[in-house]
Amino acid sequence: MNIGIIMDGNGRWAKKNSFNITRGHEQGINVVREIVEESVKQKLNSLTLYAFSSENWLRPKNEVSGIKNLIIQSINNQLDELIEQNVKLKFFGNISAFGNKVSTKINDAEAQTNFEDPSLFLNIALGYGGRMDILNAINKILDESRNKKTVIDEEKFFDYLDAPIKDLDLLIRTGGEMRLSNFLLFHIAYTELFFTDQLWPDFTKKDFVNCIDSFLSRDRRFGKRV
């Protein structure tokens, strides 16, 4: 099973609990650790997390700076656990925009978790936007087509996208919002959606399992008549 999560509500959780915004993001990272552990336990194929969108660059500079520091801090704190769990880590999106320090840390973490047969593919979207991903893929195809005849079908198109997955089975969004926020737009044609009012820092393993159970109870027909 391939699951994606739009992790929403860190800021509102911090405000509700009279914390600064960084504390909300820190608690969100703690939840990520628990959900990754449960994903391994559930024997998922992949878990793809929307950590920072292309639109999030519009947030206050001090918040963005804090998030950059937290990326490095979370890798330092959790890399050994990911290695122990045999989890393969992959970041995607406009990683270079985060600067050399963050990019170097990410490249090192990916190299250390480059397992041939991982227990879980853990994909982290940073500086990512679904429309941008599709447009970049089209431009790659146009570049290739200038030199040779290129025939693109749906399966082949995935190869040009930055996101390292294909179809999502289930997409979970926390925080009470009922929108997709430009996440994996090409990948969710027949994805089951699950929206919850819970803010991401309050999301638990039990909540995650409930989402999976809800997915397993659904009848997925993919447009076919039963």
Which residues carry out catalysis?
A: 8, 56
Structure token pair of residue 212: 């999976």
Closest CA to 205 of 7, 75, 41: 41
Calpha distance 47→122 (Å, rounded): 5
Which residues make Cβ contacts (< 8 Å) with residue 38, sequence separation at least 6? 205, 208, 209
Structure token pair of residue 34: 């628990």
**Residue 21 three-state SS:** helix
Number of H helices and E strands in the chain, helices first, is 7, 6
